[in-house]
Amino acid sequence: MSDLFSFSMFALLFIGLASGLPLAFVLGGLALFFGLIGWGTDCLTIFVNSVYGVMDNSSLTAVPLFVLMANFLTASNVTEGLFDSARYLLGTLRGGVGLAVIIVATIFAACTGVVGASVVTMGLLSIGALTGYGYSKPLTAGLVCAGGSLGILIPPSIMLVVMASTAQISVGKLFLAALIPGLILALSYALYTLFVCWKWPDMGPALSPEELARVPVRDRLRGCLINLVPPMILIFSVLGSIYTGVATPTEAAAIGALFALVLAVAYGRFSLTMLHRAVVETAKTTTMCMAIIMCAACFTNMFLGLGGDEVVKRLIVTLGLGKWGVFILMMIILLMLGCFLDWMGIVMIVLPIFLPLMRIYAFDMIWLMTIAAVMLQTCFLTPPVGYALFYIKGVAGDLLTTQEIYKGVVPFVIIVVLMVALLAFFPEIATWLPSQSKA
């Protein structure tokens, strides 16, 4: 009977998602349906305990604070000034403007942790500029999508907070574990951009002398410093306080939100309208995240309560994959589901099923969550449901076709997969920094 329940729950889950229903409603509805069949009204007690467990999780308090920080930074428009200065500073290089996109996107990712804001902001700033300078349209699409998607990997990231809560590991240590892989991935994007523009100059030409002459070198440097130093102070204050153990991730998030508000005031962008908009958007995003997390907790607990975990274990044992075979299977499932689900759905569905198995095989949970976070970059880049693809199409309009966007993200998806392989062979990339931390 448990086999029938398990397969039926997942079959109906994908049918519900394919029909376009909201993820939270699908998860919660299936949990209630199968709970009443399997447990009767006793399932309601399980649901209450599941919801209370999410509400009582202090780690998740950091989510609304990081989202609020992201909204304040978006309102401050610091990214616009930084990109304008960086593209002229690096414009003498082939692919220099594309390199500026990656650098600014990486800094913005480290300040926000919200992909939607990163992709939309970078798209608005750079698509017109890149295409106007003669950049390849697929490369333009790939740069904006991949650079903007770094927001879920480079800390502070709300995805890392949710993953740490799900895996019951330290949020601070997971932040530190993801930092170096995130920066290496950003560096890989930059090196790829410089290589293709060196190999095929028409894909990303250097700026003309006339264009560069519009902004003196002194103004470029001053603009970079004015728009770079404050965000870097914000990044180091948040991550540094976690690394040294001075503040918990939640306390660091509060510090970051306050400093982001100060930045908005300093850049002359503060108003009561801006404050109201930022708070409302934060409430919407937080409510959406919490609804999915609570419904997913009910779904997972009901799946486990009906014997689903034993079914999965028997299936994997029957396949005879072994320790690394199970790891590869998990990565493949994350990659495949990324074509159809967003990161929240994948984290809340896949991790509770695989984590008990991974603990049996004695995997380092910090390393495993880091490598899973890297792989989940692809869920924003892989069609047909990659959210970054929709964001950039909405921003670009007729400047980029859907085919050009799909073509442009393929090399960056390959880079992500290669990064996963690098972390698998050299786990110290992810585990060294947390081992040095007092968090």
d(CA 136, CA 141) in angstroms, rounded, equals 9
At 13-26, the pLDDT tens digits run 778 777 777 778 88
Mean predicted lDDT score pLDDT of the chain: 83
DSSP, residue by residue, 84-99: HHHHHHSTTSTTHHHH
Of the segments 91-105, 345-359, 366-380, which one has the largest average pLDDT value? 366-380
**How confident is the model at residue 438, as a pLDDT?**
64
Are residues 141 and 404 in contact, defined by beta-carbon separation less than 8 angstroms? yes
Q: What tokens were used for 152?
A: 């879920």
Could you write out the DSSP letters of every residue in 383-402?
Answer: TTT-HHHHHHHHHHGGGS-H
Q: Which residues of 210-223 are buried (b: 16+ CB within 10 A; e: fewer)?
A: eebeebeeeebeeb
Is a pLDDT exceeding 70 seen at residue 292?
Answer: yes
Candidates 136, 205, 154, 178; CA nearest to 411 is 136
Handedness of CA 32, 38, 44, 46 (dihedral sign): negative
The pLDDT value given to residue 23:
76
Say what the pLDDT of residue 194 is.
92
What's at 420, amino acid-wise? Answer: V
At 67, the pLDDT band (50, 70, 90 cuts) reads confident
pLDDT at 64: 84
For residues 238 and 255, the answer to whether their CB atoms sit within 8 Å is yes
What's the CA gap between 317 and 86, in Å, rounded? 53
Cβ-contact 138, 404 below 8 angstroms:
yes
Instruction: Return the SS3 of 438.
Output: coil
Q: What angle, rounded to 10 degrees, do the helices at 115-132 and 62-76 form?
A: 30
pLDDT digits (tens, 9 = 90+) for 42-62: 778 878 887 887 777 777 787
Contact (CB, 8 A) for 67 and 109: no
User: What is the spatial distance between Cα 212 and Cα 90, in angstroms, rounded to a whole number?
Assistant: 10
pLDDT tens per residue, range 389-436: 877 887 787 888 888 988 999 999 999 999 999 999 999 999 998 888
Task: Report which DSSP code applies to 377.
Answer: G
Please give the pLDDT value at position 113: 67
